[in-house]
Structure 1
């Protein structure tokens, strides 16, 4: 579990999207800080985010990963280890005398996250973003900030549409179903979009530190020329400026069009490129069934989540 000192260490050295542990712990398991990396354990699967707080591009050794798994599993032995980030890729890992064999990976290298440096953000220098904002306002779309304890049927309708229209892995669905509890955190707000008569979309925005904001997910109705995502981005950036935020973390870009959308709003790729791998302990009964349900790559989880903004 995270101690108060661990939480402060993450807050002080918040560097990338994955350092918002309050979201990850909602669907990945109990959070731990291992050599300044966040990791999670649900009793069967260890998820290890190999992005060192403060130095996310520093490679994490196999020895560090093994030490972390040993520290987390305690009475329950992990059947599966999913590690992503910047790390030493090995054919096997030995944890307290037990061998975890490489089941999948290492994957291709994926591009890192996109961020906006809010204090230097200038809409005057972004003509396409200004044009998109005008188009959204002409459609009578308006965005506003809301703090809620419960999601409404409008929110669930858009989440359900998102899930139904994407061939996603089970953990992706788990991430979405964790949102109703996640929004109750005092540092999490909703930005909602409507026109004169309808609820059109919303974004989940987290403020894990006073200087960082994380756009966790967005959901919107899909129709040609909707501009819902544009008015969301305009409002989110304005909100971050009003709160004196330094960095707005936008996560990954699961497609070229999504990367172009983020860049249109002044984002640049700042996170380190990364890879991932899945290890399994064949001596654990049922490990193959767990692997079949859980064997997914980050590209089919957070990249798909980020593609909800496409």
Structure 2
């Protein structure tokens, strides 16, 4: 008679030592400020704005439910669509220019030079200050009718115009300001360039590839994950741009709504016209649009982003 096979004994559950449980309690204590901030500073206001988006709320009286009227109002709001157009032009022009300029400087710095740390810090500084009120005021002075830009043009006999008062050029000054804050993506590009093996460039040189060919055949393909990362971050940031347009245009988005960013119009509706319900609806539309654009970036990334572990 064949003996019946016995199943291996189930090991007894090991009890965690008291020191491990104490460490877990300490971790929860240190995480508590973040969790409280996540709940009361992010989650609760987010849900409150969702509720307010379906109400008529002027900050002075109790909210009154009106259903989808705020969203229906956007369809016929000309200034709403003007702000959408301005924001889209800003995103589509400033983000590619900023990333291209950041990548160019990262490639130059990657070749090595004296005082590299100093240059790296100096180039990164605009990213820290670019969204500040002080820099926006400085930009308004630079591009004013009596500003430094027109003063330099006057040296060459060119009579400059009032860049900020011309609807055709006002948005361009904000694009230049965003491109000027290239430091953050540049540092990330520089870190990515340092990870590319030198052997690949040597192999390309053996095959007769010049500097330009090496850049497009070696550098760019291996750097596409970094390009994708910077593209997502800078696109989200461009959609949320506010301070520059508010300071330069005096909070009005002029001239002729040429600098009326979506966030600036949202601010006007919520805190100048006291249409907080309409402003909340606009905020949720912006959130959905940013989510869709980000998802589209991830879906399209499989066609142009290449990772080192792909075969």
Identify the TM-score tier after normalising by the shorter chain: under 0.3
**TM-score by structure 2 length?**
0.23
Structure number with larger C-alpha Rg: 2
**TM-score by structure 1 length?**
0.23
